[in-house]
Amino acid sequence: MGACKPPTTIPFFLPLLPSVLLLLLLHLPARSESKVLELSDRFLPMRKEGMWLIKFYAPWCGHCKKLEPVFKHVGQSLAHEPALRVGRIDCTRFASAAAEFGIRGYPTIML
């Protein structure tokens, strides 16, 4: 498969995302167990139930692999927040989910 390709348009919040993730890492206590849920296409009907922070990834993507420990830590840090759930979707297995959200490159993180 090819290299990770960047999205063709940059969402307005993308430049702020590293700062937000860093603040979350610095100010929220970490827990020992990961709270990053492995999602499937069955997630689509319930996506509007509450607030989600979702990472769309491909297992072969080098950038996704580098982001994994950071995203796992974010999931641990947000474990005490019942209103916000953290999950990830393998877009190579669940292409319908990637299409539904308009994913064009990996990794993509959406709130």
Catalytic residue numbers, as ranges: 61, 64
Give the integer Cα–Cα distance in Å for 108 and 111. 10
In one letter, which amino acid is 79?
Answer: A
- Strand, helix or coil at 103? coil
From the CA atom positions of the chain, what is the Rg in Å?
Answer: 14
Q: How many CB atoms lie within 10 A of CB 24?
A: 15
List of residues 6+ apart from 26 with CB closer than 8 A:
none
Is 78 exposed, middle or buried, given 0-12, 13-18 or 19+ CB atoms closer than 10 A? buried
